[in-house]
Chains A and B, each alone.
Chain A
């Protein structure tokens, strides 16, 4: 059964169309990254999958049920964007409060272990660092023992170590067969962790594939060098040009031809060729 089925999903806020007739199917067990700039519709989409926001048109189904039903029966766990915690209570009490609210929760001791909360159980929620608060939110997301995890920008506020630990814990959850859908700005994470990447812009899907497929859509190479001409518009293979200090960076769809052309110019020196990172692919896609 598919974990998520979105059919013509649409949400408008005033004159702004946040999500525009989105069609998307996420098979059970998949790890999917939703990528997009701010305002691309990632959060609105996840909110509709969670039943927090009602679509204006179209529908969202979670394991074949309506999102609210799926939530009530414990199919879904979520980390909300900028999700707040109940103010001014010890973490232990917060966990105990939430633990009673799920249909079939994981044992509390296991949640504490997996989210690494032992050291902060006695801490007050208004004294947590950003990373600690995210760990608590992660604990709340897995507490339901969900088949589907929805994470809206889960690693915001985490340092490098915390981020690594977070994805390791998430990999364990995913390895148990859970479906994971996460929205992120950290494109390296998407490339590294997701089976599939869906790129959103202005509420529409602009690309859908694996990390390498997304790169192939752009299909170019980046050629960086010193010297040369100030202007390469229209040169063979070149689709973009930018200056970085004394260096020029060209994006080329035919790097071999572009390189031959460049190297014929004796003033071009110190040439570097690289495959674009997902980040660059992403910028090309949404611009």
Chain B
């Protein structure tokens, strides 16, 4: 203890550094926090079960029922397309989780503790968004592995392209989770997130192909980002024209969610004590 008690911080005995912390230090802190958030998330077994075990199980179940048939003409395995749908569903759960993460840390008061460090609120939000995007990858990847086990055979490039496109197309869904967290009370936000996710999955044709649904529901489905995320993700497999319409729909959702999220963020900053 003697050595400890003689410790004197440099900036007590010397004049205060007048300039704020160097940007390099700020970046280092941001990367540190992002890394720790990802680590915390992947050690959460209940969460992993939710985003990995469930879609994988559902995939294996459905592909077991339908998997032997091929889609008309194209020669693409139904199991492969279904795999992309289920992978999108798994990724959807992971993507939308960033919002509830932020909200639970805010309502528990842990966020306030983080705000008495050098971390900024924007870095906090950015780290949670990156965490959500990163966690989407194992959620999709596990279903892909299950697909490979079921006998889906694709070129390495197609696997990678599909994975990358699904991750990119799920970006609006990360924002969707944030928007819900910003506009709902903590008690209802988790339920609202789960319900929204289920609705997006079902109406967006991730559980049953949109083509099996009645006309009006197909029209509705084609307006949803979840449908287009799976269509964009399946494009490397099924080929044909790139679904440009899907990119437009996803872009519209992104724009609206950014706007609503921005309003919600301003409101949250105004009304809360952080």
In the bound complex, what is the Cα–Cα distance between A86 and B44 (angstroms)?
13
By the criterion CB–CB under 8 Å, are B116 and A71 in contact?
A: yes
Is the Cβ of B12 less than 8 Å from the Cβ of A52? no
CB of B120 within 8 Å of the partner chain: yes
Q: In the bound complex, do residue A110 and residue B274 qualify as a contact, i.e. CB atoms below 8 Å apart?
A: no
Contact of B21 among A73, A114, A176 (CB under 8 A): A73
> Is the C-beta of A278 less than 8 angstroms from some C-beta in chain B?
no
Give the residue of A78, A93, A97, A177 whose beta carbon is less than 8 angstroms from that of B116: A78
Output the nearest chain B residue to A64 by Cβ-Cβ distance: B16
CB pair A101 B33 closer than 8 Å? yes
Chain B CB within 8 A of A113 CB: yes
Q: How far is the CB of A166 from chain B (nearest CB, A)?
A: 16
Chain B interface: which size bin?
Answer: 35 or more
Q: Is the interface of B mostly helix, strand, loop or mixed?
A: helix
Instruction: List residues 72-91 of chain A with CB under 8 A from any CB of chain B.
Output: 72-78, 80, 82-87, 89
Instruction: Give complex CA distance A80, B274 in Å.
Output: 13
Q: Select A110's contact among B7, B10, B119, beta carbons within 8 Å.
A: B7
B188 on interface, CB distance cutoff 8 Å: no
A residues less than 8 Å from B110 (CB atoms): 84-87
Q: Which residue of B lies closest to A51 (CB)?
A: B115
Which residues of B are found within 8 Å of A74, using beta-carbon distances?
Answer: 21, 118
A residues within 8 A CB of B114? 101
| Inter-subunit contact B118/A101 (CB<8 Å) | yes
B2 to chain A minimum Cβ distance, whole angstroms, is 11
Report A's interface with B, CB cutoff 8 A.
1, 47, 50-53, 63-64, 69, 71-78, 80, 82-87, 89, 93, 96-98, 100-104, 106, 110, 113-114, 137, 140, 144-145, 147, 172, 175-178
28 contacts between A and B (CB under 8 A): A52-B112, A52-B274, A53-B273, A63-B16, A69-B20, A71-B116, A72-B20, A73-B21, A78-B116, A83-B113, A84-B108, A84-B109, A96-B36, A97-B40, A100-B29, A101-B32, A101-B118, A101-B119, A102-B118, A103-B25, A106-B9, A114-B4, A147-B9, A147-B16, A172-B4, A176-B8, A176-B12, A178-B12
